[in-house]
Structure 1
């Protein structure tokens, strides 16, 4: 009888230990996912800064300040990515064994990469401007008298040149539209995945 009681009490304590271990793992996963949402918040703030900085650059043309901002934002994004990759490898670790969460984080990372790449493309295109609206550079023109110069840009506007410009404009417009649409698609995908992360957090909180 005593042996039986001993076995039962050993079994009980093992079950309690197992429950404690599961509880501790759940808390760790919960903390990691909350931290991940904080990182996403940092990314959102970085995008907001980049957007504001770019608008200011387009108005004032402060190249140096804009370049400085781009460098800061790059460092911020790299740091966020590095932390997410660390979380991803933790979820793949046998201690957690949550391949589903690792894949979810990986999917968000992929979309974030795409979003950043296309955001940069949009800014490059906007900086260049539509081909027909670009400022003419007079560096190669010859100046015979002050205030007068022979402009190398003066050419007869032929039908062919007009068509060429229209084609260049259409190409530019399409590239810009495509990049904007790509960013919107990436944002939609990211938000859907983040919803899954929030569901997971809610499920762990109710355990």
Structure 2
């Protein structure tokens, strides 16, 4: 009977040790995934920096082709980042990891990143168009009688109604731009809060 108890006790301690080793391996894998996630976020930040620089250059020089090429490259980069994060999210939901909390955290970041990207595109479209009252006039429909002389269809008596219309269009433009900028700032704040949570999780796993 004593022998049997010793064997059972030995078996229990071996199972506990195996379980502890398994937990330790899982912790290391979770740690690796979370570090990879932070690397992906770093790539996203670098892509935004490139986009911002490229857009500033485009606004100065008007190099449409170079800007379009950059937008295509950035789109590929963002898609790849999203794909990687979705894979990590899926792993955290896997019964082997069973960390729905971390999957949820990554999903929350993804949602904010999508919002940030859409609003960044909106800001650039608005800035490219410019304020309605400052947009360049296109003279395609004007009548050219002699070179350097034409009857401009855009000349009209500046009435009070036209002035009000311009002011309303400008106000609408300004509000849309402010709203998009505020939306990007809110998304960045939320993303940074979530990243802080990821860093806390990494610190906790490292301390184990």
Between the aligned partners of 1:160 and 1:126, the Cα distance in structure 2 is 26
TM-score of the aligned structures, taking structure 2 as reference length = 0.95
> What is the Cα deviation at residue 2 of structure 1?
5.7
Instruction: Render the CA deviation track for 1:168-189: whole Å, top value 9, x for unaligned.
Output: 0000000000000000000000
How many angstroms does 1:197 deviate by?
A: 0.1
RMSD between superposed Cα atoms in Å: 1.4
For the residue of structure 2 that corresponds to 1:85, the secondary structure is: helix
Deviation at 1:6, TM superposition (A): 4.3
For the residue of structure 2 that corresponds to 1:95, the secondary structure is coil
What TM-score does the superposition give when structure 1 sets the normalisation length? 0.95
Q: Secondary structure at the match of 1:185?
A: helix
Structure 2: gaps (5+ residues): none
**Separation (CA, whole Å) in 1 of partners of 2:177 and 2:18:** 56
Distance 2:159 2:29 in 1: 70
**Cα shift at 1:21:** 3.8
Q: Tell me by how many angstroms 1:22 deviates.
A: 3.6
Q: What's 1:72 paired with?
A: 73
* Shift of residue 142, structure 1, vs aligned partner: 1.1
The number of aligned residues is 207
Q: Structure 1: which 5+ runs fail to align?
A: none
In structure 2, distance between residues paired with 1:65 and 1:6: 76
Residue in 1 aligned with 2:10?
10
- Partner of 2:150, secondary structure, is strand
Which runs of structure 1 show a deviation greater than 2 angstroms over 4 or more consecutive aligned residues? 1-24
Query: Displacement, 1:23?
Result: 3.8
CA distance in 1, matches of 2:119, 2:14: 53
User: In 2, Cα distance between the equivalents of 1:116 and 1:124?
Assistant: 12
Partner of 1:124: 125
SS in 2 for 1:81: helix
| CA offset digits 1:110-141 (Å, max 9, x no partner) | 00000000000000000000000000011111
SS at match of 1:157: coil
Look up the match of 1:99. 100
State the SS of the aligned residue for 1:96.
Answer: coil
How many angstroms does 1:76 deviate by? 0.2
